[in-house]
Amino acid sequence: MLSRLVIQDVVLIEKLSLSLTQGLNVFTGETGAGKSILLDALGLALGARGDSGLVRHGATQACVTAEFTLPSAHLLFALAEENGLSAENPILLRRTLSPDGKSRAFFNDQPIGIALLRRFGETLLEIHGQFETHGLLNAATHRGLLDSFAGLLELKRKAAHAHTVWQKAKNALQEAQEAQSRARGEEEFLRAVVTELDTLAPQAGEGETLADKRVLLQNRGKILEALTLAAQALDSERGALATLSQAGRSIARVADKDPLLPDILAHLDRAAEDAAQASHSLSRLLSAQDSAPDTLQLIDDRLFTLRAAARKHQTQVELLPDLLNDLSARLALLGDSSAVITRCAEEAAKARHAYGVLADELTSKRTQAASKLAKKIAKELPPLKLDRAVFSVELSPLPEDQWGAEGKERVHFLAATNAGTPPAALQKIASGGELARFMLALKTVLTDASPVPVLVFDEVDTGIGGAVASAVGERLAQLAMQAQILVVTHSPQVAARGRHHLRVAKRVTGKQTFTHVEALDPTERREEIARMLSGANITDAARAAADSLLEDGG
């Protein structure tokens, strides 16, 4: 609820602090007293356009603060969190306006933009009156209001989820088709590169292996010379093998003559065996060197070819095998893409069908609810002196490319107030007073469907009196059981229904005129309603009539 409104230097208001209550708050006063200034100030605090003419003459700036106390589940808290703002009760919306038209906005003393202030305001309050209307007049809200009225929120949640699944499936299909298109465009290039690399046949670690061989071949002469000299040192007539053999034979002849000689003989045998193994290995290496197919030129040519390919494809020699595998896989996808696209198309069609079933159910239930809503509102119109008015709910099918999370159709509230005129958008059908009463009828029926906790009605009783005014007051009181209502009224029947009565008046101080507002106690309230009944000269009969109205309103 709106618990307090503080206004400073707005038109005729120097400084004013209003405390408001839950239920029906009525504002009365003579024409021109400044009731519209209060609504202008309230609108300013909630993000309405800042007109520099609102700044009181001679003041440096106008300032309005609206204080709200909200339940923890109110969507304003989620909106504040989305925008990185700290939010806790009481919620303070403050707006300042300079004579040059510049304005600033604050949320709980945190600076915010005017657009965000307006979004906050839309969650908190609706104004219905002769010059300013919000909420129900915005066609974008009609579908949600009809769904709330029909109790379709759970079905909408399921439809929204199905729509998300369908969109993901559609996107997957589109991506598969685009991938196929790109792959086909690359096919000639891919085939050429894969053929080239297949012919080259790069092997893992080949570059490093060839580099090692190249080092060996560059030192081949020195290695062969060393191997040859070593073999000669072992195998010549006076080489190590012959010498060790001769030494072994000499010791063997006398080994039984000295106990130390067998050990020496064993050492000579092992040395001879190792020398023989070394000679065998040398012979094998020499043979391998003589028969090796690789030449330094062949290795240089292979390394040059591999390095040239790596430069061409902007990679490293060691990564050429991986490049070949990757390009081969991409080329293979061309053959698989049709199957992938077929599968994606089947999934998209299945998801579209699932969404369609739920969306069609939404359409069916909305159609039924639209008829019920129209009938309920039709019953509210005659008592409000709208006997000839007609209300209807139009469901307009959308083309498939506009189907969304909320279904396949738009919803519009239409009305006509005169016989023979076609239904049209609500804001085009009537004068301000008629429109405000139409809004009252809609709000009476849709109270539970709207999340906005504060409703303002500006002179909803224009042009009516007697029983019609009494009906208006009754419906305002009924609405006030579900939401906080602020009503500016000239009707004593409406004023008598108020739970909190505030009187707006002017006073002259020196050469300046100021608007002030006072909360009325029961005696003052009786006098004000009597004034509304009889004018400036309040009679006993008017007071008696006021007592009667207050008794009925209580």
Give domain limits for the chain: 173-336
Q: Residue range 51-64: average pLDDT? A: 91
**CA 97, 103, 107: angle at the middle one, nearest 5?**
105
pLDDT of residue 6: 95
Is the whole-model pTM more than 0.85? no
> Residue 352 above 90 pLDDT?
yes
> Is the separation of the CB atoms in 432 and 129 below 8 Å?
yes
Looking at per-residue confidence, does 134 or 222 come out higher?
222
| SS3 (DSSP) at 287 | helix
Confidence of residue 224 (pLDDT cuts 50, 70, 90): low
Question: What is the distance between the alpha carbons of residues 261 and 295, in angstroms, rounded to a whole number?
Answer: 52
Which amino acid appears at position 139 of this protein? A
In DSSP terms, 168 is beta-bridged to none
**Higher pLDDT pick, 35 / 272:** 35
Per-residue three-class SS string for 184-239: HHHHHHHHHHHHHHHHHCCCCCHHHHHHHHHHHHHCHHHHHHHHHHHHHHHHCCCC
399 φ/ψ angles, rounded to the nearest 5 degrees: -65, 155
Instruction: Tell me the per-residue pLDDT of 412-451, one tens digit each, with 9 for 90 and over.
Output: 999 887 777 888 887 676 566 677 777 788 888 887 677 7
Rounded CA gap, 161 and 279, in Å?
A: 82
Question: By the 8 A CB rule, do 24 and 480 touch?
Answer: yes
Which helix (H) or strand (E) segment holds residue 477: the answer is: helix 466-479
Higher pLDDT, 220 or 270: 270
Q: Encode pLDDT of 12-23 as tens digits.
A: 999 999 999 999
Cα 551 from Cα 540, distance rounded (Å): 16
Strand order in the sheet with 103-107: 13-19, 2-10, 62-68, 91-97, 103-107, 110-112
Q: What is d(CA 500, CA 543) in angstroms, rounded to the nearest whole number?
A: 19
* Residues 430, 416: Cα–Cα separation, whole Å: 8
The predicted-structure confidence for 175-201, as pLDDT tens digits, reads as follows: 888 877 776 777 778 888 888 888 888
In what order do the strands lie in the sheet containing 484-488? 125-128, 454-458, 484-488, 24-28, 500-509, 512-519
Task: Kindly indicate the confidence band of residue 222, based on its pLDDT and cuts at 50, 70 and 90.
Answer: low
Half-sphere exposure of 216 (CA within 13 A, CB side): 13
Given a cut of 60, is residue 132 above it in pLDDT?
Answer: no
